[in-house]
C-alpha cells in the first residue's frame, strides 16, 4: 500500500528534518525563500498510523503564460531510499504534482553510487585515455545505490544532465568533491592539500589575507563581487543575502558568513548554512 501524501506546514517539515541525522540544506523549508523565481511547497508522507515518515521541499517554476509547472526536489525528497518498493513513496508524489499542473518532475535522490579517492583522480588526470570521471575505475562502489537506480529506471525515471543556473531546467552537479574535516587537525588537512594549494595559502598569508566571521552588513559588498558582467543585480536581493535572511526560520546557529579580507581590496566571501556552501 502506498503512503498518503499531503502538504504540510513549514513547522512540521522543519521538525521532521531536525530529527534526521543528515539532510541537504536544499531540503529545508527556508531554502524556498532563497529561490524567488520558484514557488515552494512542503510535502509530507504519512503511514497508516498517521505518522509523518517522509518529507520533501518541492520547487515549482511556472511555464510562461501557462498554468503548468516544472516541479523540482533538489537533493530530495527525504524518504527511505533503501526501501525495496520505491513506488510506495514516489507514486503518490507524482499523482499530487500532476494533479496540480506539473508537466515535468525532477528530483535528486541523495544516494551515492561511486566514490573516487583524491589519489585515483590525480592518477587519472595523468592518463590521456581518461576523458571523463566516469571512465575512471571508482575506488568504492555502493551496490545498494545501483539497486535504487534500477528501481527508478523500471518506474520510468530518466537520468538527466545538470543544467545551468539560468536555464529553465534545473539540476545539481552529478559529481561533487568532499573534503573530510571530522576528527582532523588543521595541520592534517593542510598536509592533505597538493603543493600548489599549500603555496597559494602561504602567498595569501604573506599578502595579509585574513578570514573573519562576518554578519549581515558584510553581505552587500560581497554580493556585488558575484554579479556577472553587464548584469544589474541588487545586493540586497542576492542569493547570499536571501540565504542569510532565511536562517532565522531554520537553525540560526548553523548559518554564518565567512569573509576573506585583504588590505585595500573589496572582500570576497561565502554564506554557509549547516556547514554547506551556498
pLDDT interval class at 276 (50, 70, 90): very low
141-182 residue pLDDT tens: 988 898 999 999 999 999 876 554 444 455 678 888 888 888
Query: Quick one: pLDDT at residue 102?
Result: 95
28-57 residue pLDDT tens: 998 998 888 899 999 999 999 999 999 999
Share of the chain above pLDDT 90, in %: 40
Question: Which of the pair, 230 or 86, is modelled with greater confidence?
Answer: 86
Query: Quick one: pLDDT at residue 211?
Result: 78
Per-residue pLDDT, averaged over 258-277, amounts to 54
Give 267-275 contacts, CB < 8 A, sequence gap 24+: 267/218, 267/221, 267/222, 267/225, 268/222, 268/225, 269/214, 269/218, 269/219, 269/222, 269/240, 270/240, 271/219, 271/240, 271/243, 271/244, 273/25, 273/243, 273/247, 274/25, 274/250
Per-residue pLDDT, averaged over 219-246, amounts to 52
**Dihedral (CA of 139, 115, 166, 102) sign:** positive
Query: Quick one: pLDDT at residue 277?
Result: 35
Query: Quick one: pLDDT at residue 251?
Result: 53
Query: Quick one: pLDDT at residue 249?
Result: 52
Q: Is the pLDDT of residue 120 over 60?
A: yes
243-266 residue pLDDT tens: 655 565 555 555 666 666 666 565
The structure's pTM equals: 0.74
pLDDT interval class at 99 (50, 70, 90): very high
Query: Quick one: pLDDT at residue 233?
Result: 46
DSSP string, 73-125: ETT--BS-TT-S-THHHHHHHHHHHHHTTEEEEEE------EE--HHHHHHHH
Per-residue pLDDT, averaged over 210-231, amounts to 59
Query: Quick one: pLDDT at residue 164?
Result: 47
Share of the chain above pLDDT 70, in %: 72
Amino acid at each position: 500500500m502506498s503512503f498518503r501524501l499531503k502538504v504540510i506546514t513549514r513547522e512540521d517539515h522543519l521538525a521532521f528534518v531536525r530529527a534526521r541525522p543528515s539532510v541537504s540544506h536544499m531540503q529545508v523549508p527556508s531554502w524556498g525563500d532563497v529561490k524567488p523565481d520558484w514557488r515552494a511547497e512542503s510535502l509530507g508522507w504519512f503511514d497508516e498510523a498517521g505518522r509523518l515518515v517522509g518529507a520533501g521541499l518541492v520547487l515549482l517554476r511556472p511555464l510562461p503564460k501557462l498554468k503548468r509547472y516544472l516541479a523540482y526536489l533538489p537533493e530530495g525528497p527525504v524518504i527511505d531510499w533503501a526501501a525495496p518498493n520505491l513506488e510506495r513513496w514516489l507514486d503518490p508524489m507524482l499523482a499530487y504534482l500532476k494533479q496540480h499542473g506539473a508537466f515535468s518532475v525532477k528530483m535528486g535522490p541523495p544516494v551515492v553510487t561511486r566514490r573516487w579517492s583524491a589519489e585515483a583522480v590525480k592518477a587519472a588526470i595523468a592518463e590521456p585515455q581518461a576523458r571523463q570521471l566516469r571512465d575512471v575505475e571508482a575506488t568504492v562502489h555502493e551496490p545498494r545505490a545501483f539497486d535504487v537506480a534500477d528501481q527508478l529506471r523500471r518506474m520510468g525515471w530518466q537520468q538527466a544532465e545538470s543544467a545551468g543556473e539560468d536555464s529553465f531546467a534545473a539540476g545539481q552537479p552529478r559529481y561533487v568533491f568532499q573534503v573530510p574535516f571530522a576528527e582532523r587537525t588543521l595541520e592534517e588537512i593542510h598536509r592533505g592539500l597538493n603543493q600548489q594549494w599549500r603555496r597559494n595559502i602561504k602567498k595569501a598569508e604573506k599578502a595579509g589575507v585574513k578570514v573573519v566571521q562576518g554578519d549581515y552588513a558584510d553581505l552587500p559588498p560581497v554580493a556585488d563581487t558575484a554579479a556577472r558582467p553587464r548584469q544589474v543585480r541588487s545586493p540586497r536581493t542576492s542569493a547570499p543575502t536571501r540565504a542569510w535572511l532565511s536562517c532565522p526560520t531554520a537553525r540560526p546557529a548553523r548559518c554564518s558568513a565567512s569573509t576573506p579580507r585583504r588590505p585595500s581590496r573589496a572582500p570576497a566571501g561565502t554564506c554557509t548554512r549547516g556547514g554547506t556552501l551556498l
